[in-house]
Structure 1
Amino acid sequence: MSRPDFLATHQTDPYRRNLPYPRLFFSPEDIPALRARAGAVPGLIEGLKARADGHLAGPPLDTGNLYNGMIGAMARLGDLSAAYVLTGEGRYAEGTRAALAQAFDLPKWVFPVHEPMKFDHGSANVSAAVALALDFLGDAMTEGERSGYLRRLIERTAALFRRVYAERSERWVTSKFNWRSMICGDMGLALLTALGHDPDAMEGLTYALDGVLAILDDAPPDGEWGEGVGYWGPAVGLPIRLALAMDRMTEGRLDLFQHPYLRRTGDFLMHVTGPNGRVFAFADCGHALGGQAAAMLGLLGRKAGRPDWVRLALQYPPSSLFDLACTAGLSAPEAAPDPPTARRFETYEVVTLRSGWGPKDTFAALKGGPTMVGHSHLDINGFMVTALGETLIPDLGTWPYAHFIGFFDTGNRRWSFDANATRGHNTLLVDGQGQRFAEGAAGKVVRFEPGEAFDLVVSDGTTPYAPLLTRFHRWFLFFKPGLLVVFDDVRAEQARRVEWLLHYEGEAEAAAGVDLRVVKGDAVLDALFLLPGRDEGWVASHVGRRFTYRDSNRQVIVHPENRYVAFSRMHAYPDHRFLALLSFHRRGGAGWIGEVTASDAEAVRFTLRQGAVERRVTLDLEGLRAEVES
């Protein structure tokens, strides 16, 4: 259904206003099954009750600190109302009432770091938390009480949301990234709850749906999200919450799950999640898929008929009441065919390669795409690798935010934080400098050829280094299951010093015949450079950088670290070639070795050996093709 058709159906008012509470994610009849499933998940109810009891026993909400007050209000409302649903204990309903009153004691619902904005995503997030608490309390709250709180909610945010959206007075109203869908998704929930209490709720819902649909319509057709998995959660996840509620409230007449993006985006989550559960943490992203994202993947899989999504989702136990609602009725599929082991997402040039879909298989993820994306890092041609159940070559992911000392100052200070900058990624520094955050500075995959014997990817990362470099072609040849060959063809108009950065997890150990050995658990990474030649001079710098600053969200001092090895030639040259063999094997095993047999302006030829196995490789540098002979 197109956006105009969807909005037209919305205008026919297909909403069932007389459903009993709770009604957004589940019905009163569903609660016994939710409780039974929650009780079967070790620690879920115990953890929820511990948090809820902590709220009851702790001091009142900190209304003097707006940030802490808003975060605290959402936590209290969420934990206490969910604890009531899953236990039926009246003290949690009373605690929710107290939390509602304290939330409205806050002078406003706008995060201080976003002022002077009048309506930010915090405004919508707290509104949704209030709405869900009112929904979850069901018949523990009288209609008079609920109506009173809904009137206060309408006065505080619903009317302001309508005015801001109609006047386009905040920049998020026309944004193409997470703020618009976050705000519209959460305000949609709040306005659904207000139906029957707010005569203008339908108008507000029209704006909320318009915002959600605008973002989904504009999202890449293959389902990826340019801000990474971490921001997929709020940017796509909050609309998914709204989709679930609308599906229930309209008996499927307004089914956002049929949107083409939501029928494809599960592929993105599935392919960027490694065998050990670690995700490719590009942009401001954590390292884990997380229970809520997994639960939403399961819900999407059920709606789209994708048993492979459901299979992955069920590897993560539910961690919340919402997770339980998303995964209701899901069971492990009897047969789900394995997806392809190589996948390219073309808009943001995210490529994943793997030797298989087992828990110990090797997984490599590579990143190109534009630098100018929300929450982006300067990570073009960077990569990560997980093998034998361990992440050996990581992406640093996100560091704690520091709003007041430039974490989001993309014109300068954001790049002083290593996790955001090129120095925090497995790519190049040129004369000590990283990549540019600029329009047109982007990595482009110019060759993607999955194969039985090996996968080939070539990515052109030149423009982010302009004018320092005139060429930066990075080649990846993945010989399954345990060898990733990385070849860099780097050219400049004048002599440059180029450093090849390799971040690692585990312990670096001395080992003969390799440039770096990293051991983590039973897994071993051996890094061996066949180029450049050692007779030109060779430097391996083991670097550890420790930062100290205040996390502006949690208001605590943090000490994030960046540890890597920088490999480089001793002197500056106009052109550089790096040829690295990255072997992954168990302790006691052996990595690959090799030698370069020819290297000229047009081609590089080298031999790879592991025991009795030998492969002869030719790279056509201008045609961007690889030939391999056994």
Structure 2
Amino acid sequence: MAGGVVLASAAAATTAAEEPAKRVFITPAEAQARMASDLAQWRKNLTPGVPHIAFTADSWRELRQTYAAAKGRQKEYFDSVIQRAQTLATKPAIAYRPPEEFVSPSLSLPSAKAELWQRDVGDNLTVSSMALALKDDPAIRKNIRDVVLTACEYPNWGLRSTGMHLASAHLSIGVAIAYDWHADIWSDAEKEIIRKTIRNHVGDIAAGLYGKVFWAGDYFTNHNHVSVAALGLCGLAFLDDIPEAAEWLAAATINFERAMSAANADGSTPEGFTYWSYSLGMIVRYIEGTRHVTGSEALYQKPFLQNTINYRLHGTTPGLGRLLPWGDVWTKATASTYSLFALAREYRSTEGQFLASSSPSKNMWSTLWYDPTLPATPPATLDYHATVVDLAASRTGWTPDDYLLSIKSGLNVRHHSHLDAGALALAFGDDWLLTAPGYGTGKADGTNGFWDRKGRRWTYFSTATESKSTLLIDGKNQRFDADARGTIDQFISTPAWCWTGVDLTQAYQDSNEVRRGLLHRRGDYILVLDSVRAPRPVTVEWLAQTLPAGTRFDSKTPARLSVKGKTGSLEIRSVFPSGLAFAPRKHTVKHYDLPEDRITTHTLKTTGSNVRYVTLLLPSASGEKNPVKDISVDETADGLRIRIHCAKRGGGEWTDVIDADSRIRSLTAVRTGEAAFSTAGETHP
């Protein structure tokens, strides 16, 4: 972080990141034993006549008083819930439609069979249920009843035959909350219909947890977190009304204890930020919904949850509107920001409050978790290394006029991962200028090849190495075996400099050693140093993926590539070897699965058994000129000496002299009039 020195070891970057060799399933006997142990206390913690989920007797009694006294942002959240529910009440309950009716060029039949449209039905029920708790409204009451009874008639809740319980989970939670919070809506006959429906669908989730489905025992995946959150919340809601409900709650309790203990200690997940957000939202719903009964708030003491705010914060662009583009992601940053309110309240984190408050989205759960007494303050830390998932970020600040640089390392093959070791991305404000493809459309082709991590997945452009701003060796994808990875083995941060050293050897075939180093002189430039040593001559491409709409390439200055965004621009300049020229690059993989406006690719190309690149990234805020005037590179006996001459508008000139060894393992940088910055002694084996 700026103001200090942060180091991360290679050993730290590998612990807790790998999937267990063998999954350990929860058994019915374990769940029943936990139930026998804890059920009496659970019942003691409940108050007759008070909802089971999310509320104590006091908080339920005081809810309308809290709404009446709310001001500012808190009142906005409450009002938005009622307004949304009133709009929903003007529409009829959504009738069931078979998957075949949803098939389109962007949605294959296998995907349609998951029936994910039902998630909105369940989520909207929670909104309407909260609104009715805040204010009596006959139209909202009728809508809740109609939607629940209509949903109970659906022939399917998702695709249970393959364990795709996401739709079922959302519907189950919505129905459970409507049943639990508003018991007076339902006749005895209707309650029996609801109980029968929940036993059918949630019972299947429970059977899945015991080893029947793909997400059982996989404590890292969003499918586990979402499905088991529903199991636990329904177990609590129907604790007195369904015989198996107590066992459901016990099984969920065990699952989340294991999941939070196994989860990455740096607050990350291996699935990328989109699925991280999805998982976190459901994990927090489970904890906040059950804590007053089961003591699930103890999970907040786990390192994963303690570090989630930090991970999400540093994975957010300076304009706070986008997320890091690694893996299968949609980078819009509004997803599940409501969960950050609960975390900020729990940890009294003013930075978490700052990030949660930055989102324009208004979610029902924000009404329960937002603490108006907690101030919001922007963070002071500018550099960050997530040591388990193994990615790094360095920035100039937290405003739309600042930029963020990130490098991706860690394991290549995990849930929703891409072959992207060593990939770079740079955002100015909320615009990813040097970017990555994010979620491709390959999953819509109906072949399921997009999910085949043993081979076919890597024939899609969005997941392949050639769609990333990294090195491509002999035109081949990076490795996709279980050991394929990059490792950040150096990370050093000071107020002016940030250095990240990455060993990429295990990510590539046909090479003895591959390294990438990033030297960030804050506010001025990023120097990218690359080295490939191979047993025979190989062709190494330096790939740049940029925002198509803003990219400019002039054949008269072929060593330079520029891209412009709303609040800033980036020049990418090839420095060494001299005489190289960027060239547009067409894809070579079998399936191109991106819209044409997502990214455009340019490449530098060199062949040899000892290939080195020096490349300069020059960011500039709109209306400003980057201070770098010229750069020279000389080969030395030990490596390279790089001189960067800078001058700022209004006066002031200086020169940076950078000495890097040939293997990019040690570096010294000296700016005129400043003490030296050095990586000496900081390399980790």
Give me the TM-score of the superposition, normalised by structure 2: 0.80
The reply on whether 1:256 has 2:292 as its aligned counterpart is no
Q: Of 41, 44, 56, which residue of structure 2 is paired with 1:13?
A: 41
Residues 1:521 and 2:521 are matched in the alignment: no
* Pick aligned residue for 2:577 from 514, 532, 543: 532
Amino acid in structure 2 at the alignment position of 1:521: K
- Residue among 205, 222, 246 paired with 2:290: 246
Residue-by-residue CA offset, 1:489-529 (whole Å, 9 max, x unaligned): 11222222222111222422357766112122241211111
Aligned equivalent of 1:126, options 148, 171, 178: 171
Deviation at 1:387, TM superposition (A): 2.6
- Once the two structures are TM-superposed, the CA of residue 180 in structure 1 deviates from its matched residue by 2.1
- Distance verdict in 2 for CA 1:259–1:27, change over 3 Å: farther
Residue matched to 1:555: none
Q: How does 1:551-562 map to 2 (within 5 A)?
A: 559=595, 561-562=597-598
- Between the two proteins, the alignment pairs up a number of residues equal to 607
Aligned to 2:542: 500
Q: Give, as a single letter, the amino acid of the residue that structure 2 aligns with 1:13.
A: Q
Answering whether residue 670 of structure 2 is matched by residue 629 of structure 1, we say yes
Q: Which moved more, 1:23-32 or 1:614-623?
A: 23-32
Matches within 5 A, 1:287-366: 287-290=331-334, 292-327=335-370, 329-333=371-375, 336=377, 338-366=379-407
Q: 1:264 to 1:508 in 2, by over 3 A?
A: closer
Q: Secondary structure at the match of 2:330?
A: coil
Whether 2:119 is the aligned partner of 1:74: answer yes
User: Is the partner of 2:419 in helix, strand or coil?
Assistant: coil
Q: CA deviation at 1:301?
A: 1.5
- Give the one of 147, 153, 156 matched to 1:105: 153
Partners of 2:595 and 2:37 in 1: CA distance: 52
Structure 1, residues 64-86: CA drift from partner, whole Å, max 9, x if none? Answer: 75947943433234325524643
- Structure 1 counterpart of 2:437: 396
1:226 is displaced (CA, Å) by 1.6
Higher relative contact order (CA 8 A, sep 6+): 2
Distance in 2 between residues matched to 1:255 and 1:233, nearest whole Å: 21
Measure the CA separation in 1 of the matches of 2:238 and 2:327. Answer: 36
Question: 1:553 aligns to what?
Answer: none
User: How far 1:475 sits from its partner (Å)?
Assistant: 0.5
Distance 2:129 2:631 in 1: 66
For residues 52-75 of structure 1, give each alpha carbon's deviation from its aligned partner in whole angstroms, at most 9, with x where no partner exists: 25742x862315759479434332
Contact 2:529 2:664 in 1 (8 A): no
C-alpha displacement of 1:154: 4.1
- Per the TM alignment, residue 443 of structure 1 is displaced from its structure 2 partner at its CA by 0.3
Counterparts of 2:99 and 2:578, CA distance in 1 = 63
- Residue from 203, 211, 230 that aligns with 2:255: 211
1:464 aligned residue (507, 512, 535)? 507
Aligned residues of 1:376 and 1:420 also touching (Cα < 8 A) = yes
Q: What is the DSSP-based 3-state SS (H/G/I as helix, E as strand, rest coil) of the residue aligned with 1:30?
A: helix
Structure 1 position 276 matched with structure 2 position 324: no
Name the CA distance, whole Å, in 2 between partners of 1:322 and 1:191: 20
Deviation at 1:47, TM superposition (A): 7.3
Matched, 1:193 2:237: yes
Q: Mean Cα displacement is larger for which, 118-127 or 430-439?
A: 118-127
Q: Give the counterpart letter for 2:50 in structure 1.
A: P
Q: Take 1:340 and 1:185, find their aligned partners in 2: how far apart are those partners?
A: 33
- Equivalence for 1:618: 659
Cα distance in 2 for partners of 1:591, 1:293 equals 39
Amino acid at match of 1:607: R
Q: Which residue identity lines up with residue 79 of structure 1 in the other structure? A: N
Corresponding letter in the other structure for 2:526: L
Tell me the amino acid that sits aligned with residue 420 of structure 1.
Answer: T
Give the deviation of 1:542 after TM superposition. Answer: 5.3
Instruction: Say if 2:413 and 2:480, in contact at 8 Å, map to a contact too.
Output: yes
Question: Any idea what SS the aligned residue of 2:212 has?
Answer: coil
Q: CA deviation at 1:174?
A: 1.5
Deviation at 1:42, TM superposition (A): 11
Quote the Cα distance in structure 1 between the aligned partners of 2:465 and 2:589: 16
Unmatched runs of 5 consecutive residues or more in structure 2: 1-29, 102-111, 648-652, 672-685
Structure 1 pair 121–194 and aligned structure 2 pair: CA distance change class (3 A): same
C-alpha distance in 2, partners of 1:337/1:549?
A: 40
Q: Map Cα deviations across residues 211-239 of structure 1 (whole Å, 9 max, x no partner).
A: 12211110122222121211112323212
Q: Is the 8 A contact 2:122 2:173 kept in 1?
A: no
Once residues 90 and 68 of structure 1 are traced to their aligned partners in structure 2, the CA distance between those partners, rounded to angstroms, is: 35
Q: Give, in whole Å, the separation in 1 of the partners of 2:614 and 2:165.
A: 48
Give how far 1:116 is off. Answer: 3.9
Q: What whole-Å deviation, never above 9, does each CA across 1:350-382 have from its counterpart, x for those lacking one?
A: 111112334422211111001121111111101
More deviation, 376-385/222-231 = 222-231
Answering whether residue 619 of structure 2 is matched by residue 584 of structure 1, we say yes
Residues 1:457 and 1:101: Cα distance change in structure 2 (over 3 Å): same
Whether 1:61 and 2:113 are equivalent positions in the alignment is no
Deviation at 1:548, TM superposition (A): 9.3
Q: Which moved more, 1:120-129 or 1:574-583?
A: 120-129
* 2:84 counterpart of 1:52: no
**Cα displacement (A) at 1:282:** 1.2
Deviations 1:279-331 (A, max 9, x none): 112121211221x522211211211222221122111244221232222x234
Taking structure 1 as the reference length, the TM-score comes to 0.87
Which residue of the other structure, out of 529, 541, 546, is the alignment partner of 1:487? 529
Residues 621 and 73 of structure 1, relative CA distance in 2, 3 Å threshold = same
Q: Which of 249, 265, 279 is the aligned partner of 1:221?
A: 265
Is the Cα–Cα contact under 8 Å of residues 488 and 577 in structure 1 kept in the other structure?
Answer: yes
CA distance in 1, matches of 2:38, 2:618: 56
Aligned ranges for residues 166-177 of structure 1 at < 5 Å?
166=210, 168-177=211-220
Letter in 2 for 1:573: G
Deviation at 1:627, TM superposition (A): 0.6
State the alpha-carbon separation in 2 of the partners of residues 389 and 614 from structure 1.
31
Change (3 A) 1:531 1:10: farther
- SS of alignment partner, residue 95 of structure 2: coil
Q: 1:412 to 1:95 in 2, by over 3 A?
A: same
Partner of 1:27: 60
Q: SS at the partner of 1:489?
A: strand
1:96 aligned partner: 144
Q: Percent identity?
A: 20
Take 1:64 and 1:293, find their aligned partners in 2: how far apart are those partners? Answer: 27
Q: Partners in 2 of 1:383 and 1:50 — Cα distance?
A: 46
Instruction: Give the letter for the 1:466 counterpart.
Output: Q
Residues in 1 aligned to 2:366 and 2:282: alpha-carbon distance in whole angstroms: 13
What's the CA shift string for 1:116-161, capped at 9, x where partnerless? 435634433332232133235x255136366324421343034334
Separation (CA, whole Å) in 2 of partners of 1:119 and 1:229 = 21
CA distance in 2, matches of 1:549, 1:96: 44
**Could you tell me which of 399, 406, 414 is aligned with 1:373?**
414
Deviations 1:587-619 (A, max 9, x none): 351352443442257311111122222101011
CA contact (8 A) 2:281 2:339 kept: yes
Partner of 1:385: 426
2:642 — aligned with what? 606
Residues 428 and 21 of structure 1: CA distance in aligned 2, closer, same or farther (over 3 Å): same
Question: For residue 502 of structure 1, what is the amino acid of its counterpart?
Answer: A
Task: Return the letter of the residue paired with 1:595.
Answer: I
